[in-house]
């Protein structure tokens, strides 16, 4: 089988590509190597895959429709795991166009390629942020997710709706994966645990919004990868019990479509998380407690 992994130089994409290549699968990795954070880290991740003959890398942008189509035509992937996206909640406040280009136009190109060069299964990254203003917990796929609070979350919710339309119209099996705060080695330097650890080592204050009254469902990268790899062969089918009068947002009665939460189902208070960091590092953090700011959701 051939697996196409977009965002292969990214945090999650690189771990997924490595897991698949390690078991002998043919992996086609693509990435645009943007400078949202240091491209040297992305190249270092790719270097981890250099020893696998079954892995090949293409430096390209999923926002380029001709490049995406040509790659699908030449490689004919069986599975597509779309993890390429403009990440980050705060960045979407100042650079919304980046999310339009990568998360929306780019994903449309992936869908179109899957339409013209049929695949067994398209899996794509969504986010727990789609739940937005929904306060009913624990979050369930059957909950509505129609009130995102950032453009990043809105772009990911749009991906789910786009996938549903293509699953219905062209019978493309699609699975949306709502990740919950992924952490682990080779992670993004803009994520809280890296920023906090760096500040503790340097003795600079940590900005803690909403006076620290925040919670996260942290999920270790290996668990995310395990979930993605196992779901590849869980091919969606129309839900026979789907009721159009009371529609289940997490499945569909008109197409092979499914949405999954992938998290550890155990929230951690932010201040407890910082306490744990302090103990592991052996230094005390300087805490700067601040009110809630836009984007801290």
| Token pair listed for 222 | 């290996």
Residue 105 CA to residue 159 CA, distance in Å, equals: 10
Q: Which of 152, 166, 193, 260 is catalytic?
A: 152
What are phi and psi for residue 285, nearest 5 degrees? -80, 145
> CB–CB of 129/160 below 8 Å?
no
Residue 25 CA to residue 57 CA, distance in Å, equals: 14
Q: What is the DSSP letter of 222?
A: H
| Token pair listed for 287 | 């805490």
Residue 203 CA to residue 281 CA, distance in Å, equals: 12
Catalytic-residue membership of 209:
no
> CB–CB of 48/14 below 8 Å?
yes
Residue 201 CA to residue 198 CA, distance in Å, equals: 5
Find the farthest-apart pair of alpha carbons in the chain and give their distance in angstroms, rounded. 57
Return the active site residues.
Answer: 152
């Amino acid at each position: 089988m051939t697996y196409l992994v977009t965002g292969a130089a990214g945090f999650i994409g690189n771990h997924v590509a490595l897991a698949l290549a390690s078991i002998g699968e043919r992996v086609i990795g693509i990435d645009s190597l943007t400078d949202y954070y240091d491209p040297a880290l992305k190249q270092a991740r790719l270097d981890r895959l250099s020893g696998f003959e079954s892995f090949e890398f293409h430096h390209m942008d999923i926002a380029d429709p001709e490049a995406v189509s040509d790659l699908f035509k030449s490689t004919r992937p069986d599975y597509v795991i779309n993890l390429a996206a403009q990440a980050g909640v705060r960045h979407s406040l100042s650079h919304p166009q980046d999310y339009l280009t990568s998360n929306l136009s780019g994903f449309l190109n992936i869908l179109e390629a899957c339409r013209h060069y049929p695949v067994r299964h398209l899996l794509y990254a969504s986010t727990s942020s789609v739940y937005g203003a929904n306060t009913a917990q624990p979050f369930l796929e059957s909950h509505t997710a129609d009130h995102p609070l950032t453009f990043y979350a809105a772009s990911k919710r749009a991906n789910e709706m786009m996938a549903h339309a293509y699953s219905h119209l062209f019978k493309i099996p699609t699975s949306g994966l709502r990740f919950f705060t992924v952490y682990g080695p080779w992670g993004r330097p803009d994520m809280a645990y890296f920023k906090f650890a760096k500040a503790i080592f340097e003795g600079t204050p940590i900005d803690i919004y909403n006076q620290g009254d925040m919670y996260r469902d942290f999920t270790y990268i290996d668990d995310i990868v395990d979930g993605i790899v196992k779901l590849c062969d869980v091919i969606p089918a129309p839900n026979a019990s789907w009721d159009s009068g009371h529609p289940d947002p997490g499945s569909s009665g008109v197409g092979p479509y499914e949405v999954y939460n992938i998290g550890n189902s155990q929230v951690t208070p932010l201040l407890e998380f910082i306490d744990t960091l302090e103990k592991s590092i052996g230094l005390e953090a300087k805490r700067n407690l601040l009110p809630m700011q836009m984007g801290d959701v």
